[in-house]
Chains A and B, each alone.
Chain A
Amino acid sequence: MSVTMRINGEQREFEIGRDLLPTTTLSAFLREQVGCTGLKISCDEGACGACTILMDGKAVLSCMLLAVEADGHDLLTIEGLPEDDPVIEAFAEQCEPGHGTALQCGYCTPGFVMTVRALLNENPSPTLDEVKEALSGNLCRCGCYAGIVKAVGHAAEKTVARGGRS
Chain B
Amino acid sequence: MSTDFKPRVPRQFIGGYRPRIDGVEKAHGRAPYADDEISERNYPGLLHARVLRCPYPRARIKHLDTTKAAALPGVKAILTYQDPEVVRLRPTNAGWTDAVDTVSYDKMMWTKFRDRRVLGDYGTWAGDELGVVVAAESEMIAEQALRLLEVQWEPLPFVLDPLDAMKPGAPVLHPQIAEHNVLPPDPVGGPDVFLSKGDVEQGFAAADVVIEMDTSHHNPTQGSLDPWCCVADWEEGRLTVFSNSYAADQTRMHVSQMLEMPIHKVRVISKYVGGQFGRGDTGDQPFFIFTALLAKKAGRPVKFKHTRRDSFHDTRQGALYHCKVGATADGKITALHFKSIGDIGAHADHSVFALKFAPAEVSDAALAPIPNIKMESYAVYTDRIPGCMMRGVGNSQFNFIFGRMIDGLAERLGMDPIELALKNFGHAWGVCPDKSLTAVLETGAARIGWAEKRHKPGQGPLYEGAIKRGVGFSMHPGWHAEWQEERRGQVQAKITLHPDGTVTLDAPTVETGTGSNTCNVLGCAEALGFLGVRPEDIRWVSTVDTDNGMRDCVQTDSAVSFLQSEVLVVAAQQLKQKLLDLAAPVLGVPADQLTVTGGQIHAPGRSLSVKELLWKGDLVPLSVMVSRRPSGTKTGVPYIASFAEVEVDTGTGRTQVLKLVIINDCGTVMYASGAESQQIGGQVMAMGEALTEELIYDPVRGVPLNFNFIDYKMPTILDMPAIDPVLLEVWRGAGEYGACGIGEGTLTCSPRAIANAVYNAIGARVDELPLTPEKVLRALGKI
Interface residues of A (CB under 8 A from B): 23, 31-32, 35, 37-45, 47-48, 50, 78-79, 81, 83, 88-89, 91-110, 113, 132-133, 135-149
Contact = CB atoms under 8 A, between A and B. Distances in A.
Nearest to B513: A105
B224 interface: yes
B2 A97 contact: yes
Given A40-B35, A78-B28, A141-B223, A47 B708 contact: yes
| Pairs A-B, 9 closest by C-beta atoms | A38-B29, A105-B513, A107-B274, A98-B2, A106-B26, A143-B681, A143-B684, A100-B677, A110-B29
Nearest to B681: A143
- Most chain B CB inside 10 Å of its own CB: which residue of A35, A104, A105, A141: A105
B415 interface: no
Contact of B673 (A88, A89, A100, A109): A100
Interface stretch (B254-262, B565-573, B715-723): B715-723
Interface string B404-425: 0000000000000000000000
Contact of A92 (B27, B40, B685, B717): B27
Interface string B26-60: 11111101011001110000000000000000000
Contacts of A132: 717-718
- Most chain A CB inside 10 Å of its own CB: which residue of B33, B513, B720: B513
Contacts of A37: 29, 36, 39
Interface of B: 2-5, 17-20, 22-24, 26-31, 33, 35-36, 39-41, 140, 222-227, 272-277, 307-308, 512-515, 672-674, 676-685, 708-710, 714-718, 720, 723-725
Contacts of A144: 677, 680-681
B709 A107 contact: no
A143 B725 CA distance: 13
Contacts of A47: 708-710
Contacts of A101: 19-20, 23, 515, 673-674, 677
Contact of B680 (A31, A135, A143): A143
Contact of B717 (A45, A79, A103, A145): A145
B307 A44 contact: yes
16 contacts: A23-B140, A37-B36, A41-B35, A43-B709, A45-B709, A81-B28, A99-B676, A100-B678, A103-B27, A106-B26, A141-B223, A141-B275, A141-B714, A142-B677, A144-B681, A145-B684
Nearest to B720: A145
B308 A106 contact: no
Majority SS of interface residues in chain B? loop
B680 A99 contact: yes
B674 to A, nearest CB: 7
B28 A141 contact: no
A147 B681 CA distance: 10
Given A100-B680, A142-B513, A107 B28 contact: no
B275 A113 contact: no
Contacts of B226: 40, 42, 105, 107
A47 B679 CA distance: 25
Given A103-B26, A141-B222, 8 more contacts: A31-B36, A43-B708, A102-B27, A104-B275, A141-B225, A145-B720, A146-B680, A149-B717
Nearest to B272: A106
A141 to B, nearest CB: 5
Contacts of A103: 20, 23, 26-27
A113 B274 CA distance: 16
B710 A50 contact: no
B515 A104 contact: yes
A75 to B, nearest CB: 15
Given A50-B225, A143-B680, A136 B718 contact: yes
A161 B720 CA distance: 30
B692 to A, nearest CB: 13
Contacts of A149: 717
Contacts of B19: 92-95, 101
Nearest to B40: A32
Nearest to A95: B673
B749 to A, nearest CB: 16
- Most chain B CB inside 10 Å of its own CB: which residue of A35, A97, A101, A103: A101
- Most chain A CB inside 10 Å of its own CB: which residue of B29, B36, B39: B29
- Most chain B CB inside 10 Å of its own CB: which residue of A35, A50, A88, A140: A140
A147 B672 CA distance: 13
A155 to B, nearest CB: 11
Nearest to B4: A97
Nearest to A36: B29
A11 B29 CA distance: 22
Contacts of B679: 100
Contacts of A148: 717
B5 A97 contact: yes
B225 A139 contact: yes
